Amino acid sequence: MEVEFDGDFVGTGVWTFEPLHGKTRVRYRWSVRPKRLSFALLSPFIDVGKAHSDVIQKGFKALNSYLSKG
């Protein structure tokens, strides 16, 4: 599934889903550039991709914990 961004960041993101040992592996890759001047000036110093990945990983861990209780 592919999505396009046109906000603070401009570009595309691609979600892929694949079966793996009876579960589903979810991957998300994005190719974006900052649109806001402040983001463009800070982007060489801040790893936006890693920050995004860290937040998403926490979300997936919480979702996995919630789903395993049910």
DSSP of 8-48: SEEEEEEEEEEEETTEEEEEEEEEEEE-SHHHHHHTTTS-H
To which H or E segment does residue 1 belong?
Answer: none
Q: Which domain holds residue 45?
A: 2-69
Residue-wise pLDDT for 3-55, tens only, equals 998 988 899 999 999 999 999 998 988 888 888 888 888 888 988 888 888 99
pLDDT on residue 30: 85
To which H or E segment does residue 7 belong?
Answer: none
Count: domains in the chain: 1
pLDDT on residue 14: 95
Q: What is the pTM of this model?
A: 0.58
